Amino acid sequence: MFNKILIANRGEIAIRVMRACRELGVKSVAVYSEADKNALFTKYSDEAHTIGKPTPAQSYLNMNNILDVAEKSGAEAIHPGYGFLAENPKLGKECHKHGIKLIGPNPSVIEAMGDKITARKLMKKAGVPVVPGTEKGITDVEEATEIAESIGYPVMIKASAGGGGIGMRIVTEEDELLRAIESTKSVAESAFGDATIYIEKYVNEPRHIEFQILADEHGNTIHTAERECSIQRRNQKLIEEAPSPIMTPELREKMGSIAVRAASSIGYTNAGTVEFLYSNGEFYFLEMNTRVQVEHPISESITGLDLVKEQLKIAAENKLDYSQDEIKVNGHAIECRINAEDPLNDFAPNPGKITGYRSPGGIGVRVDSGVYMNYTIPSYYDSMISKLIVWGRDRNEAISRMQRALSEYIILGVKTTIPFHKAMMANPHFYQGKLHTHFVDNYKNEIYDNMQKVVKEDRIMEERLKSTFLPSKRVAAVSAAVSSYMTAHANSKK
């Protein structure tokens, strides 16, 4: 096992990795921008180093500065978390040059899976079902028109590079095609520096189902069951659960074995996710994420595995400790992403100072967070405050537990997505498990009306609880004491 690793990320995922390090007796190195000087993850680490100004390009995307800290601190490996440099193959290549281990797959695999056209070709060659579409980039409108007609409308115009659904357009008829192509090319060029696009058949109201993969460097590959990630907005996941409400043992065996085949066929190692679209009994390869995912805690909840520990062990060249037959699904887990956004105002970002904070607890409740009271959420990065995860013996208990946990979660000073999640947990269609990727759009009026009711109720509860928060002067004193303790603790471990 490594003696020291650097976490090239911030917020809750940085703390998540550091916790795994502590349990394994590994020292952690944090890197932070000027905006994150007082962030919790910098205090929690064994040592922390500044890497630049607040903007990502000058800090968390500054590969040279990160590698410089890794070398000077004596870190033997780098964990990229998710986002930022996590799926940049150049990081792995530079790590290799510097004699540092990247906790992730081979850079060539990251590169291949990062290009959607290449990924489609590789998966098709491996016998993995893919959505009908083009096998190469499209540059000619006339060619695109012929392909769209042969596939049949509606079709999707997608960027070959990047992810997260950025630039994706649905085209229902030929008159829309030219505008959609130009729009997607423009967005792709701006976001990824690559204007290559491709066309594939649009699958109507599919479920988004993904399989968590673990693969060691000795040829062993397994999956840890599936996650349902169909509750999305603009192709961004909002709520995830495991297992999927529609999963049967037979379907899990079929989809899981294909996910393992997909990973094995490209020599995948470490943790990753094979994502599928599922509709009317059929499923198709969507993409492969070559990193740990935001929603990994729900897989941990139903299997008992610590996926980040597994990442570190695999990177340290250990074999997996278990076979596929030993992975058992126990109960049901749900994760709600709590963001600093205003769900009643089209989810507009709402960074600012947290003036009151009280997280939920109790049996089956987990909160992965990187904030604290009087902490100011920076405007430069993703708006995530925390991930609220619950476990229940079955899906009904998990939903009830999430409703209870959300009712206990108090965050003052910024608007959050908690009202949205409360409205979702009370939605009868969600409760029945009738999920698909257009769920939020289809029921937006119903969800919006319920959120308005929730906000009124929350204001009453917040007024009751305001007096239980520490006065601002005491908050400052307590924060200083905590900071002093964390620094002393870090120094004692050096």
Residues forming the active site: 291
Tell me the CB-side half-sphere exposure of residue 480, using CA atoms within 13 A. 6
Distance spanning both ends of the chain, measured CA to CA: 18
Burial 231-261 (b: 16+ CB within 10 A, else e): bbbeeebbbbbbbbebbeeebbeebbebbbe
Nearest to 301 by CA among 327, 337, 333, 273: 333
In this structure, are strands 101-102 and 77-79 parallel, antiparallel, or unpaired? parallel
- CA atoms of 113 and 107, how far apart (whole Å): 10
Are the C-beta atoms of residues 134 and 198 closer than 8 Å to each other?
A: yes
The CA-based diameter of the chain, rounded to the nearest angstrom, is 69
121: left (phi over 0), alpha (psi -120 to 50) or beta: alpha
Q: CB of 32 within 8 A of CB of 48?
A: yes
Burial zone of 449 (CB within 10 Å; 0-12 exposed, 13-18 middle, 19+ buried): exposed
